[in-house]
Amino acid sequence: MRRALTLALLALLVAFPHAAQHWGQMFYVSFATRIIIYALAVTSLNLILGFGGMVSFGHAAFFGAGAYTVGILMAEGAASVWLAWPLAVLVAALFSLVIGAVSLRTRGVYFIMITLAFAQMMYYLAVSMRAYGGEDGLTLPGRSRLGAGLELSNDVTFYYIALAVLAVALYLMRRLLDARFGQVIQAIRENETRMEAIGFPVYRYKLTCFVIAGAVAGLAGALIANQNSFVSPNLLQWTQSGTLMVMAILGGVGYLWGGVLGALVYLVLEEALSAYTVYWQLGVGVVLLAVVLCARQGLASVIARLIPAGSVPRG
């Protein structure tokens, strides 16, 4: 049932740019790409927040690290996707390794505060990079170059690339969550002390999970830099971490589709409401309150209840 729905959704998303083109609404292709990119970023946050139980308030640091890697490389004349994107992932992974290695020695509120502090340090680092726009940000000359006759500057092509990245990421995350590693991570969320007591090196698992999430956020950052053709310190600011977190909570913390749903609903609300008022955040706040009060586990939990799960058969 779920697999059929997933495939139907995928078919719909593949057909979407053609429909938009047909009705001359190309704006929506670019808007959908933005949703897809945020969906990827929130999904990566959901891995540590929802499945690993690590409430990181600094996820924008890795998102921004990926974006700046692409931006700086492009400013220096290196525009190849095949260089810039893997490097964005690598840089974000390295930052998350260092930040995680320190932060994961703490628990609870201390963990929230220390991840926030690290992210703010990276924000000010970005502000201080005068050569790359400083506070004003850096406008990129174009999008990364993919080769093979494909032009990312074409919005439809870029949409498909982003969609493919998200689809692969979701599939890999599903595998990971069902495999040994994911099961261990989820058990650590439930009872960390007992996991240690039955012989798991808990810290190592949490750090690995943190780095995977950081790396994926870096990839999302590389995509957003291309999408906007612009990077600025705002990408790393704590409000950005907050937005990612709100999206995750809205969509469903600890649900595979939570990140996608959260990004979708948040950005559509933002788009729809900001047409009427500059105080659109008030509307988003009301919706968030309603969701948290009525469906504490987020929108994905409501959908999960409606659609029967196809659990992995034993044996």
Partner 1 sequence: MVELLAVEGLYKHFGGVVATDRVDFAVAEGEIHALIGPNGAGKTTFVHQLAGALRPDSGRISFGGVEVTHTSFHERVRVGIARSYQITSIFRSHSVLDNVALAVLARSGSAFRFWRALARETALFDEASAIAAEVGLQTKLTQLAGRLPYGEQRRLEVALALATRPKLLLLDEPMAGMDPQAAHGIVELIAGLKGRVTVLLVEHDMDAVFKLADRISVLVSGRVIATGAPDEIRANGEVKRAYLGDEAAA
Selected from 3, 22, 130, 314, the binder of partner 1 by CB under 8 A is 314
Neighbours of 185 (CB within 10 A): 24
Gap between the Cα atoms of 100 and 86, Å rounded: 20
Of the two residues 79 and 209, which places its CB atom closer to partner 1 in the complex? Answer: 209
Q: Does 194 bind partner 1 (CB under 8 A)?
A: yes
Taking CB under 8 A as the criterion, the residue among 105, 175, 296, 305 binding partner 1 is: 175
Q: Of these, 113, 176, 246, 287, which contacts partner 1 (CB under 8 A)?
A: 176
- What is the distance between the alpha carbons of residues 218 and 67, in angstroms, rounded to a whole number? 7
- Under the binding rule (CB under 8 A), the answer on residue 181 touching partner 1 is yes
Toward partner 1, which CB reaches closer, 109 or 312?
A: 312
Interatomic CA distance for residues 27 and 295, integer angstroms: 32
195 in contact with partner 1 (CB under 8 A): yes
* 234-232-136 Cα angle (round to 5): 105
Contact 100, 115 (CB under 8 A): no
Torsion, Cα of 299, 302, 308, 309 (10° steps): 40
Among 187, 246, 287, 302, the residue binding partner 1 under the rule CB under 8 A is 187
CB of 23 to partner 1, least distance (A): 42
Retrieve residue 278's tokens. 């500059």
Footprint of partner 1 on residues 199-228 (CB under 8 A)? 199-202, 205, 208
Binding site for partner 1 (CB under 8 A): 172, 175-176, 178-184, 187, 190-191, 193-202, 205, 208, 311-315
